[in-house]
Amino acid sequence: MNKKTILVTGGAGFIGSHVVRRLVTRYPDYTIVNLDKLTYAGNLENISDIENKPNYKFVKGDIVDADFIQELFSREKLTDVIHLAAESHVDRSISNPLEFIRTNILGTVNLLNAAKFSWNCRLGTESSDTESPRRNLFYHISTDEVYGSLGPSGLFTENSPYDPHSPYSASKASSDHLVRAYADTFGLPAVISNCSNNYGPFQFPEKLIPLALNNIRQNKPIPIYGKGENIRDWLFVEDHTLAIDLIFHKGKRSETYNIGGHNEWKNIDLILLLCGIMDRHLKRTAGTSEKLITYVTDRSGHDLRYAIDSSKIDRELGWKPSVKFEEGLEKTVRWYLDNESWLSNITTGNYKMYYEKQYANR
């Protein structure tokens, strides 16, 4: 196996922590440099189990700082990038769009510039030849939300037009376009994947499933937007992580891959299912938790339905979702209930002390 030094951005977040863990443990010849600003969403406890592995290094830093990013590329001699760092919560993008523009667009451009410079990319060089073996790769992780909203039928394919509606999805769409522009203009070896909603362990408890789970645990209201009619396609995070591993190693340069769970749920049906699982785990009478459901004013610009056609990644790379929703949800509930200290460290803010305790004096 080739030796590589891979920059994973956002590796202290939800999906990034699963990606870092997988790469560090499965590929001992790779060095994984995890770059994360540790915003409110970054939590080093998510990867505490691998922090002492010899092929792992954590760097605290901001992708918006261009000089720092350029210096990091030269210092670490990075061969590849898997870019997950982002502001990722739609509601926060409505209250503070600028932070999303900074991180998701400017931050991505800084990484692209540093990669282009370090890997000596320009049109006419070997890197613009999509057939030759690649030495470097810029892998950009994106979302199905860039495609906008579907009606009751149809699926997003890799050729669906972009039609983002929230500042979050608009900023992710911009970053996707910029990655493609750097591939086309400078021959940057790049690949993009657009994935549906993820769920599983280590998801920050402001997103639908962990928020509901945490509120049920504490007997607090479960807020549901509008009438709960919005439909999302849910994928267990470890299935996404496996797809990322496959695309990183086998994906074709300049291609896009859609990743989805073939698993559409109306928000209200999902929450009712979760309530049933929680009643059982908490030994409550069936029907207890669903009484906590509280309908709240709908999110502005709320997309009705997302659903992904992931036949391309199935056909070309042999990937399919493997975890059934009931099984994944069961695993997720068990993980959150077994890791109450992880949740309470977030609620109390103690998770923010982890960096000082473990890293600051290294």
Ligand X SMILES: NC(=O)c1ccc[n+]([C@@H]2O[C@H](COP(=O)([O-])OP(=O)(O)OC[C@H]3O[C@@H](n4cnc5c(N)ncnc54)[C@H](O)[C@@H]3O)[C@@H](O)[C@H]2O)c1
121 versus 146: smaller Cβ distance to ligand X: 146
Q: Return d(Cα 194, Cα 301) in angstroms, integer.
A: 20
Looking at residues 91 to 110 of the shown chain, list those that interact with ligand X (rule: CB under 6 A).
103, 107
12 versus 278: smaller Cβ distance to ligand X: 12
Q: Which residue is nearest to ligand X (CB)?
A: 13
Q: Return d(Cα 167, Cα 95) in angstroms, integer.
A: 10
CB within 8 Å of 278: residues ≥ 6 apart: 213, 216, 217, 284, 289, 333
Q: Return d(Cα 175, Cα 8) in angstroms, integer.
A: 16
Site string for ligand X, 6-25 (x = CB under 6 A): ---xx-xxxxx---------
Using DSSP bridges, classify how beta strands 231-236 and 264-266 pair: parallel, antiparallel or unpaired.
antiparallel
State in angstroms the smallest separation of the CB of 172 from ligand X.
5
Using DSSP bridges, classify how beta strands 30-36 and 4-9 pair: parallel, antiparallel or unpaired.
parallel
CB 54 within 8 A of CB 276: no
Is 144 among the catalytic positions? yes
User: Candidates 190-198, 268-276, 278-286, 327-335 — which segment interacts with ligand X by CB under 6 A?
Assistant: 190-198
Amino acid at 307: A
Is 264 among the catalytic positions? no
- Find the length of the chain: 362
State in angstroms the smallest separation of the CB of 94 from ligand X.
16
User: Candidates 38-46, 109-117, 124-132, 290-298 — which segment interacts with ligand X by CB under 6 A?
Assistant: 38-46
Considering only 41, 82, 183, 213, the residue that binds ligand X (CB under 6 A) is 41
Considering only 23, 32, 33, 38, the residue that binds ligand X (CB under 6 A) is 38
Q: Is 172 in the site for ligand X (CB under 6 A)?
A: yes
Q: Is 146 in the site for ligand X (CB under 6 A)?
A: no
User: Candidates 79-87, 274-282, 322-330, 335-343 — which segment interacts with ligand X by CB under 6 A?
Assistant: 79-87
CB 100 within 8 A of CB 85: no
State in angstroms the smallest separation of the CB of 122 from ligand X.
27
State in angstroms the smallest separation of the CB of 169 from ligand X.
9
100 versus 119: smaller Cβ distance to ligand X: 100
Cα 145-147-150 angle, rounded to 5 deg? 95
Q: Return d(Cα 210, Cα 218) in angstroms, integer.
A: 12
107 versus 164: smaller Cβ distance to ligand X: 107
User: Candidates 81-89, 127-135, 271-279, 322-330 — which segment interacts with ligand X by CB under 6 A?
Assistant: 81-89
Residue 148: closest CA among 303, 327, 338, 344: 303
Burial class, 89, CB count within 10 angstroms (exposed 0-12 / middle 13-18 / buried 19+): middle
187 versus 342: smaller Cβ distance to ligand X: 342
Active-site residue (options: 56, 168, 199, 351): 168
Active-site residue (options: 62, 145, 176, 233): 145
Estimate the crossing angle of helix 208-217 against helix 267-281, to 10 degrees: 40
346 in helix, strand or coil?
Answer: helix
**Residue 67, CA distances (Å) to 62, 76, 129, 186 in order:** 10, 14, 29, 21
Q: Which two tokens stand for residue 287?
A: 């029907």
State in angstroms the smallest separation of the CB of 190 from ligand X.
15
18 versus 253: smaller Cβ distance to ligand X: 18
User: Candidates 158-166, 196-204, 261-269, 287-295 — which segment interacts with ligand X by CB under 6 A?
Assistant: 196-204
Q: Give residues in contact with ligand X (CB under 6 A).
A: 9-10, 12-16, 36-39, 41-42, 62-64, 84-88, 103, 107, 141-143, 172, 195, 197-198, 204
Among all residues, which ones are annotated catalytic?
144-145, 168
